[in-house]
């Protein structure tokens, strides 16, 4: 497995594993024993970065990861998140965010217990809290890092000015936001700022929530609890229109003797050496397929072809429901 460096020295595998789908968001939770086996298999195949959050479940995802990684804790990097208004006793989620310093500390302690560890390698603010100055958040993380409970500070879905202000108080190791051939918003200004500040980038949904795999069309039926039912760009009409994107990826994949998913991930890896995508899966064969992207070399001509053809395609539908978009800085 190839290694990449995020920010000020956090070394991780070139691909990480997003674990959210194992317990929520894409339908019912998967079988726990199977997911523990999958997580350990990912490590055996070279993955060292595992991404979770208190909000996934809530709590169930961190508990799963804690059990799965406990035997190999010192060999992996665990990234988790704070920032939503979740009751730490009941798991009941409020309607907004909560990054008050005392709440961050309480979340850290609870996450440490669920993850069965004495430190969090990368602790992201899941969403920016408009009620709490980012300097207070960064200061709290600085203290947690000084205490050894956290190793690195991250931000998720934050705007560039927020990133600059946070970074001035406590260096930000990584920023996590959506980025793929299905949504290229970070190219407008985020990537340039991250490069300037020396911050790593961890794209979630690098396969466009599965759309870029070529396995989804306008007739695909999602489980009733699947979040894609509520995403504008996953309406049947939008999916039908957006298949033009997949056709471009499929053409390159056929020529490279690869799969569409591998081309989509290889494209991301080719953008910057400090980008580490975190595709998620619950299926062992998809994990193996995704890992094949690390060794797929896209030439300059391949990348130019993809960019030129994609530039001619209009993506239909917003990437998130309006209420969720309001909580992002992008």
Q: Which residues are catalytic?
A: 56
Beta strand segments in the chain, E: 3-6, 10-13, 17-18, 49-51, 77-82, 84-86, 93-97, 120-125, 150-156, 172-178, 200-204
Are the C-beta atoms of 293 and 262 separated by less than 8 Å? yes
Element (H, E) at 69: helix 60-69
Separation between Cα atoms, residue 158 and residue 173, nearest integer Å: 13
State the Cα–Cα distance between residues 232 and 147, nearest whole angstrom: 43
Write the CB contacts of 221 (distance below 8 Å, at least 6 apart in sequence): none
Strands 77-82, 172-178: pairing is unpaired
- SS3 of residue 10 by DSSP: strand
Rounded Cα distance, 278 and 126, in Å = 15
């Amino acid at each position: 497995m190839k290694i990449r460096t995020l920010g000020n020295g956090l070394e991780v595998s070139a691909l990480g594993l997003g674990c959210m789908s194992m317990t929520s968001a894409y339908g019912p939770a998967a079988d726990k024993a199977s997911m523990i086996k999958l997580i350990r298999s990912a490590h055996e195949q070279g993955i060292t970065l595992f991404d979770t959050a208190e909000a996934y479940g809530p709590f169930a995802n961190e508990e799963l990861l804690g059990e799965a990684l406990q035997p190999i804790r010192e060999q992996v990097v665990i990234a988790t998140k704070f920032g939503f208004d979740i009751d730490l006793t009941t798991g009941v989620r409020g309607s907004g965010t909560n990054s008050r310093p005392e709440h961050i500390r309480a979340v850290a302690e609870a996450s440490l217990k669920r993850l069965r560890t004495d430190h969090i390698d990368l602790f992201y603010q899941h969403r920016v809290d408009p009620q709490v100055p980012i300097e207070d958040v960064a200061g709290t993380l600085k203290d947690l890092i000084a205490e050894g409970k956290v190793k690195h500070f991250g931000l998720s879905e934050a705007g560039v000015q927020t990133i600059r202000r946070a970074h001035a108080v406590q260096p930000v190791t990584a920023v996590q936001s959506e980025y793929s051939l299905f949504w290229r918003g970070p190219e407008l200004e985020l990537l340039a700022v991250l490069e300037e500040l020396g911050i790593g980038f961890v794209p979630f949904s690098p396969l466009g929530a599965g759309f870029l795999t070529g396995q989804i069309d306008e007739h695909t039926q999602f489980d009733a609890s699947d979040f894609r039912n509520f995403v504008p760009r996953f309406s049947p009409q939008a999916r039908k229109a957006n298949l033009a994107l997949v056709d471009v990826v499929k053409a390159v994949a056929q020529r490279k003797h690869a799969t569409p998913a591998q081309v989509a991930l290889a494209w991301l890896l080719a953008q910057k050496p400090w980008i580490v995508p975190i595709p998620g899966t619950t299926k062992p064969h998809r994990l193996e397929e995704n890992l094949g992207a690390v060794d797929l070399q896209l030439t300059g001509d391949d990348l130019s072809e993809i960019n030129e053809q994609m530039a001619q395609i209009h993506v239909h539908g917003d990437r998130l429901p309006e209420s969720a978009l309001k909580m992002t800085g992008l």
